[in-house]
Chains A and B, each alone.
Chain A
């Protein structure tokens, strides 16, 4: 919007500015030369200077013109156009060395200050009726402030320190505020009933959040890798040990089969047993291929053996 306005304002402005410039030059030429006369040595340099001065004048006129044409926009509290224009003038003023340009700068300032005054007037007529101090007091009352009786309402600083707000004050106000919002009630998981099968987006949010933590991240994988390696090694070693154990067992006694549970169960340690089964599971294929594995059996309770034992 600002762009289009600017270009809109600029096209006629430069034309007009050019005309004005000509007029001005004709009108003020006499004055100008008179003023410049007492400065003979810089005559050639003065030509270049004149060109840049003309440019500055032109720019000032453009600016003034565009401010005048976009009055409404300048006055609107939604835009920063006036500030931008002031900044532009500020830039231009850096190149100003002579009274004539300075006069234009002043002309612009007069225009700008008039606009500002207008704006200020508008604001005053609009806003005097809104008194933020009484509004604050009314809000405090709504929140249920407990004012001490000593506290006078006339003194600001005392007002601010006096009075005691109940702990639910802001909640009370928030509850009221909710009536004025079409805010979507946010949904939340109840005790993670949805978490058993985590929804995809949730995971992503977490991953996103983790991403910035660079330092921590760098250390973590290295550590993990190491752990996994040593763990893997330990497992491999253990598996090999068991395989070797089996091999020597069958080399020494090639005829008798070994009962699977005898090999695996440690009657004194459940953990050890589980570990053994885990390790053996790695070489099950080799065992099945090389050695024959007889299926370990658990007899049903009503078998004769069982009866014999209970008897």
Chain B
């Protein structure tokens, strides 16, 4: 992982962007030693800042990069990074019932998911995000039921049946095309990859990393089953796949 420890020691430069991407691999005893050199108050302040940072970042559901956490919150507290993140994770869990999940271990990207079971009538606030989630589950259902990947033309043809036209301004979603191909992708709900050697270019729609964490094949299958008034086992191969995934 980050074996290059060039940022450790005295040569800490604020302006160097690269510097932040390098997190020293810390052994617990090292962290312990570093912790002793900091006052508890300072550490706690950083933890609070990080919790706040994560919550605010999560408002837009855009995944949070570790680089940003380091650059914007941790700053000169890098030597105790892991301890701050652990404590912030604990606070999120204990106070807010949220879980910090690393969706991309290569680029170190985090999201927050709820670790509490949903309660009927829990969400008192219904806004555009609610509606967007409706559209999202439809697309995710379609992709999963079609074998985990679907061509863009198929997705849009399906959405047209639901009165959602890519070229038209939708009365709820506005620019739907942008919502699906940009916002959902940025939020990592969807992954859209161009299909090589196609002219005009075609795209493949797949589940994004966040979708896999926030929901599951099993949940989506139950949604489809509920909509169609059938048992999930009606679609036997999807049912088996969903079962294998849990």
Residues on A facing B (Cβ under 8 Å): 77-78, 80, 83, 86-87, 90, 123, 125-127, 129-130, 132-140, 142, 159-160, 165, 167, 170-188, 199-202, 204-205
Contacts and interface: CB of A to CB of B under 8 A. Distances in A.
Interface size class of B (residues with CB under 8 A): 35 or more
A129 B231 CA distance: 13
B149 A182 contact: no
A130 B238 contact: yes
Interface of B: 49, 52-53, 55-61, 72-73, 96, 98, 111-115, 118, 123, 126, 129-138, 141-142, 145-149, 158, 160-163, 171-173, 195-197, 213-215, 219-220, 222-224, 226-229, 234-238
B134 A159 contact: no
Contacts of B60: 186
Q: Chain B interface secondary structure, helix, strand, loop or mixed?
A: helix
B131 A178 contact: no
Q: Chain A interface secondary structure, helix, strand, loop or mixed?
A: helix
A175 B113 contact: no
Nearest to B146: A127
B132 A174 contact: yes
A181 B133 contact: yes
A46 to B, nearest CB: 33
21 contacts: A90-B197, A125-B237, A126-B238, A130-B146, A135-B228, A160-B161, A170-B134, A171-B134, A173-B134, A175-B134, A178-B130, A180-B219, A180-B220, A182-B118, A184-B114, A185-B114, A186-B55, A186-B59, A186-B129, A187-B55, A201-B73
A202 B115 CA distance: 25
A188 B235 contact: no
Given A173-B134, A175-B126, A184 B112 contact: yes
Given A87-B196, A136-B162, A173-B131, 11 more contacts: A130-B238, A139-B162, A140-B161, A173-B134, A175-B126, A177-B137, A180-B137, A183-B214, A184-B114, A187-B58, A202-B56
Contacts of A136: 158, 161-162
Nearest to A131: B228
A281 B243 CA distance: 78
A261 to B, nearest CB: 48
Given A177-B133, A182-B214, A78 B145 contact: no
B146 A183 contact: no
A181 B222 CA distance: 12
Nearest to A164: B163
A174 B197 contact: no
A201 B49 contact: yes
A171 B113 contact: no
B118 A188 contact: no
A308 to B, nearest CB: 61
Contact of B56 (A137, A142, A201): A201
A187 B60 CA distance: 10
A171 B162 CA distance: 14
Contacts of B57: 201, 205
B56 A129 contact: no
Contact of A138 (B58, B72, B133, B227): B227
A240 B149 CA distance: 77
Contacts of A137: 161
Most chain A CB inside 10 Å of its own CB: which residue of B96, B163, B238: B163
B58 to A, nearest CB: 6
B168 to A, nearest CB: 13
A13 to B, nearest CB: 23
Contacts of B126: 171, 174-175
Contacts of A86: 197
B215 A180 contact: yes
Nearest to A172: B134
A174 B171 contact: no
Nearest to A175: B130
